[in-house]
């Protein structure tokens, strides 16, 4: 069993998506053959090389982890997936002849509280698979995404992480089983009060704007309004 993972975050190794891929690796210790890549280096530089794509096509399952950007996928990831889909049919006809279509799983994470915010983006992934001859096997949408990095040293079974960890375990089970899939997409978030999350988020915006030499009033600026 082999897995290829695409980190679709423009923040690359510092991203929540990288941490979520790492957490899936910890949940699937028996899988030694991981191929990890990032869509970002190829943004605006043309398609990734055929050799890179072929190394991903060969995996039994593909895991795409990405941040929600304006209710969709980051443009750099869309470009990467377009190249992936364009090359896949020829690879499957030739090198991959006789193999079942590759199973594709996705983890979307977002800044809003509710994991269900990622529903449309996961549906986009599903339609992408249907149009490309790939086998959509299910997705996980995680709200309060940024907390995954802040909580990385907290035990996975701790209460605050538990809803996300148990969803990740269900995803891991589907991935490890030959031909396995999630019956439905799963949506979840960390176990943290909504109002406290909102307060912490607002404090973080105020902190960031000060660091950038502006005041809290500018947070409400609408420069394109007129």
Ligand X SMILES: Cc1cc2nc3c(=O)[nH]c(=O)nc-3n(C[C@H](O)[C@H](O)[C@H](O)COP(=O)(O)O)c2cc1C
Binding-site ranges for ligand X (CB under 6 A) = 9, 11, 15-17, 67-71, 109-112, 117, 145-146
CB 200 within 8 A of CB 150: no
Of 91 and 151, CB closest to ligand X: 151
Of 103 and 190, CB closest to ligand X: 190
Query: Could you tell me the smallest distance in angstroms from the CB atom of residue 135 to ligand X?
Result: 24
d(CA 144, CA 150): 11
Query: Could you tell me the smallest distance in angstroms from the CB atom of residue 16 to ligand X?
Result: 4
d(CA 197, CA 84): 37
CB 187 within 8 A of CB 115: yes
Query: Could you tell me the smallest distance in angstroms from the CB atom of residue 165 to ligand X?
Result: 17
Query: Could you tell me the smallest distance in angstroms from the CB atom of residue 94 to ligand X?
Result: 34
Of 37 and 92, CB closest to ligand X: 37
Token output for 71? 């209710």
DSSP 8-75: --TTGGGSHHHHHHHHHHHH-TT--EEEEEESGGGTTS-PPPHHHHHHHHTSSEEEEEEE-BTTB--H
Of 61 and 110, CB closest to ligand X: 110
Instruction: Count each helix (H run) and each strand (E run) in the chain, helices first.
Output: 7, 6
SS3 211: helix
Of 54 and 209, CB closest to ligand X: 209
Of 132 and 189, CB closest to ligand X: 189
Q: Find the angle CA(176)-CA(132)-CA(169) to the nearest 5 degrees.
A: 20
Query: Could you tell me the smallest distance in angstroms from the CB atom of residue 224 to ligand X?
Result: 15
How is residue 112 annotated by DSSP?
S
SS3 224: coil
Query: Could you tell me the smallest distance in angstroms from the CB atom of residue 152 to ligand X?
Result: 12
């Amino acid at each position: 069993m082999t897995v290829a993972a695409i980190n679709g975050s423009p923040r690359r190794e510092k991203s929540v998506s990288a941490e979520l891929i790492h957490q899936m690796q910890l949940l699937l210790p028996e899988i030694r053959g991981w191929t990890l890549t990032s869509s970002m280096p190829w943004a605006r530089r043309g398609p990734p090389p055929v050799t890179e794509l072929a190394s991903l096509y060969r995996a039994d399952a593909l895991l795409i982890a990405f941040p929600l950007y304006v209710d969709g996928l980051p443009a750099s990831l869309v470009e990467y997936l377009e190249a992936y889909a364009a090359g896949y049919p020829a690879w499957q006809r030739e090198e991959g002849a006789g193999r079942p279509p590759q199973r594709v799983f996705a983890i979307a994470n977002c800044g809003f509280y509710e994991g269900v915010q990622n529903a449309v983006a996961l549906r986009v992934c599903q339609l992408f698979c249907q149009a490309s001859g790939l086998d959509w096997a299910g997705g996980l949408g995680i709200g309060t995404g940024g907390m995954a990095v802040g909580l990385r040293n907290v035990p996975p079974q701790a209460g605050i992480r538990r809803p996300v960890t148990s969803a990740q375990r269900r995803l891991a089970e589907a991935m490890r089983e030959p031909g396995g899939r999630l019956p439905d997409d799963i949506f979840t978030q960390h176990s943290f009060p909504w109002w406290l999350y909102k307060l912490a988020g607002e404090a973080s915006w105020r902190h960031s704007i000060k660091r950038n030499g502006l005041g809290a009033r500018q947070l409400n600026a609408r420069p394109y309004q007129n």
